[in-house]
Amino acid sequence: MATKTEDYLGITDYKVIGTRPIRHDGVDKVVGRAKYGADIDMAGMLHGAVVRSPHAHARIESIDTSKAEALAGVKAVITVEDLPLQEDKIEDLGEGAANLRHLRANVLADGKVLYHGHAVAAVAATDIHTAQEAVDLIDVEYEVLQPVLTVQEAMEEDAPLLLEDQTTQSLGEDTGQKSNVCTHFRHELGDVEKGFAEAELVIEREFDTATVHQGYIEPQNATALWAADDQITVWCSTQGAFTVREQTAQILDVPVSQVKVVPMEIGGGFGGKIRIYLEPLAAILSRQTGRPVKMVMSRTEVLQATGPTAGSYIKCKMGIDKAGKIIAAYAYMAYESGGFPGSWAAPGAMCIFAPYNIPNVLIDGYEVLVNKPQTMAYRAPGATNAAFASETIIDEICEQLDVDPLEFRLNNSAREGTRRADGPVYPRIGNEECVKTALSSEHYATQLSGKNRGRGIASGFWFNVGLKSSAAASVNSDGTVSLVEGSTDIGGTRTSIAMQLAEVLGIRAEDVKPQVADTDSIGDTDVTGGSRTTFATGWAAYQCALDIKEQLIKRAAKLWEISADDVVFDDGTFSSSDSSKTISFKDLAGMLDEIGGPVMGRATVNPSGVGGAFAVMIVDIEVDTETGKVEILRVSMIQDAGKAVYPSYVEGQMQGGVAQGIGWALNEEYAYNGDGLLANASLLDYRMPTCLDLPMIETHIVEVPNPGHPYGVRGVGEVPIVPPAAAVANAIYDAVGVRMTNLPMSPAEVLKALWAKNGGTGTA
């Protein structure tokens, strides 16, 4: 957590940090040469496919694979019997965690299927079409059970149980009570009852948000080769090669050293490419056939069976005192886990009231099993749902008090020293600066006019994470540096990491050759997630550069036959302290063979000085009162990056987060029918924003340095998805006077709300 440290260097004249070089992997990606997971091809390679449950909740009575095995071209068929048994053991995924017994049962169903699309068996065949034919030939008999699809249903006492042995962990204790409620936690600050008793104005609302998917364009894939010497290689698109190695080794019951994971280029993740799905299947099919096996999910499989993020039910209440200060806040947050335990109420609870200084807070969080795929992180997981609730109520408070929503936020702003309800006391944060930037923006100063048009404001918070990162770098004789690191590059982090090394050594970003390495070639590195990569792996690269600098100072001393204490390094040049001798980094690099041989730097970090990120969004919309459709007219995202190392890609994260948040706000949802079958498992029916749905997305980068990083870096990837849903809801209210409390705010939902307001006339 955000422990205050003073690692910030306070540099004001950066040479590389804050510039906009062309990303190192750019050319490969614009000419089609970059190799993603599905681009793998190998001699003798087989193709795998997965048998999936047609039911949301059922007991598997029998699986008959004989017809599939008899099909020409089919080389192997596996079921859960082929996976080693697992004991209950919690595996940390870097972002989220998994019980290995459940992870195994998610990879291949163990006796029961818990969601539509749950994997039941897998086949390998000489080509993908034969594999798909074999899938259709596998007969599975099911005893169909009643599905449970909402947290409210699942929490009822007589609800059908998904996992018969699941008991509720409440406030850290096992209650022994069999239930779909896996976890209940609570955060308490001050005396919430007293706070509400003292409030002049109390507003309480209930909110429902739909299950949504990360929507990365590249489907999950894995290719595995289990060699005759029992060395296993996995090629896949993942946010974290090391967590894939760890999970795969555990599920296969082999030592981690027996598995090498080669991270291919990754076509988006957003939290959804951390847990394993196909990797152990491909590995076991490879062991059984002696050939490499490639598996690629279809889009339907991606939507049915990989982790979407949690839908939720939130009840939220806030109280305001005479002075217009928030004096009390309460939240009841019930989040879907999907078919197995592990959800996102906990991070949601860390964020729900985070932008505000509130003396009395109570938060109850619940994570609940439902017959949907096991949920996974999605960009600030849990926080968008949470902010939708709290920020909508804040807007209603501002309306009732007749105060400017940004002035209200400034007046109630959390700042350095404020204690958050879940415990931490903020170090230096940029919350107020974001609100002030919004207040002084041209967008906010421009009056919005027109019928059925409205403006909405919302704040957001994400705490960001640190975790483990490793980097190694070698000095080349031409004065460049080859950098090896373990963080998958999903959106320009090769460059943002390389820039932090270049800054120390006084070389250009282009003079660093960054490479993302496999798990045998670099030290353990956690996932690209939690907005940590530029922060933590960048720090490792910075440390690497310091290591190189120290070694080169000694080499210069050797060259000049002086003490290393008498060598100084500044802006890419080594000098003797009397200035009589100087040599550039490049020239010294060219002489290394003569003065001791090659130089390599290395570093591993696990930084604790994480700096949380705040954001404010301003959005202008227009509601078509005939159809209920909401059009986005103008949008601005204001966000504290700490220090924007690579501003082009900081803006990109902000714009991407806004776009996803708007999709979540207006269109995206998992549509289940009454039998619990996913009715919209395609990108036609799971409707993500196209470029026609969005305007340009204005960005304002605020830079309040994080005291816990040498360059002041905070994470940037996640917080921009937090405010959009609430901001759009508040804009809809401003436009047509209806308070939207469910996500998505689809045309049908907006129309329903308008009709309810206007007695069914359908016009505003």
Residue 38 CB, shortest distance to other proteins, in Å, is 7
Interface residue with other proteins, options 161, 591, 694, 764 (CB under 8 A):
694
Interface residue with other proteins, options 60, 458, 504, 697 (CB under 8 A):
697
* Segment 627 to 656, residues that bind other proteins, using CB under 8 A: 648-649, 651-653, 655-656
Q: Can residue 696 be called a binding residue for other proteins (CB under 8 A)? A: yes
Say how far apart CA 377 and CA 243 lie, in whole Å.
14
Interface residue with other proteins, options 1, 5, 19, 26 (CB under 8 A):
26
Residue 650 CB, shortest distance to other proteins, in Å, is 10
* Segment 649 to 688, residues that bind other proteins, using CB under 8 A: 649, 651-653, 655-660, 682-684, 688
Coil vs helix vs strand at 455: strand
Say how far apart CA 723 and CA 695 lie, in whole Å.
17
Say how far apart CA 711 and CA 404 lie, in whole Å.
35
Say how far apart CA 679 and CA 56 lie, in whole Å.
12
End-to-end alpha carbon distance in the chain? 47
Query: What CA–CA distances, in Å, run from 532 to 40, 487, 537?
Result: 28, 10, 8
Interface residue with other proteins, options 134, 236, 490, 738 (CB under 8 A):
490
Single out the segment in contact with other proteins by CB under 8 A; choices: 84-92, 364-372, 380-388, 490-498: 490-498
* Segment 296 to 325, residues that bind other proteins, using CB under 8 A: 296, 298-299
Say how far apart CA 183 and CA 341 lie, in whole Å.
8
Half-sphere exposure of 229 (CA within 13 A, CB side): 5
Residue 260 CB, shortest distance to other proteins, in Å, is 22
Q: Can residue 492 be called a binding residue for other proteins (CB under 8 A)? A: yes
Residue 575 CB, shortest distance to other proteins, in Å, is 36
Q: Can residue 214 be called a binding residue for other proteins (CB under 8 A)? A: yes
Single out the segment in contact with other proteins by CB under 8 A; choices: 15-23, 52-60, 115-123, 347-355: 15-23
Q: Can residue 23 be called a binding residue for other proteins (CB under 8 A)? A: yes
Q: Can residue 491 be called a binding residue for other proteins (CB under 8 A)? A: yes
Interface residue with other proteins, options 7, 18, 36, 324 (CB under 8 A):
36
Residue 32 CB, shortest distance to other proteins, in Å, is 2
Residue 439 CB, shortest distance to other proteins, in Å, is 23
Q: What does 108-144 look like in DSSP terms, one character per residue?
A: S-SSEE-STT-EEEEEEESSHHHHHHHHHH-EEEEEE
Instruction: Report yes or no: 241 and 341 within 8 Å, Cβ to Cβ.
Output: no
Say how far apart CA 608 and CA 704 lie, in whole Å.
18
Strand ranges (DSSP E) for 552-623? 567-570, 573-576, 582-584, 600-605, 613-623
Choice between 40 and 100, CB closer to other proteins? 40
Q: Can residue 226 be called a binding residue for other proteins (CB under 8 A)? A: no
Strands ordered across the beta sheet of 112-113: 112-113, 58-64, 139-144
Sequence letter at residue 382: G
Choice between 86 and 214, CB closer to other proteins? 214
Contacts of 96 (CB under 8 A, 6+ apart): 274, 275, 342, 376, 377, 381
Choice between 214 and 525, CB closer to other proteins? 214
Q: What tokens does 359 get?
A: 């003396």
Coil vs helix vs strand at 383: helix
Interface residue with other proteins, options 692, 759, 760, 763 (CB under 8 A):
692
Phi, psi (degrees; rounded to nearest 5) at 168: -85, 130
Single out the segment in contact with other proteins by CB under 8 A; choices: 34-42, 91-99, 439-447, 463-471: 34-42
- Interface mask (CB under 8 A) for other proteins, residues 242-281, using x and -? -----------------------xxxxxx-----------
* Angle, CA 307 vertex, CA 304 and CA 309 arms, to 5°: 110
Q: Can residue 595 be called a binding residue for other proteins (CB under 8 A)? A: no
Chain positions contacting other proteins, by CB under 8 A: 20, 22-23, 25-27, 29-36, 38-39, 41, 129, 214-219, 265-270, 296, 298-299, 490-492, 648-649, 651-653, 655-660, 682-684, 688, 690-692, 694, 696-697
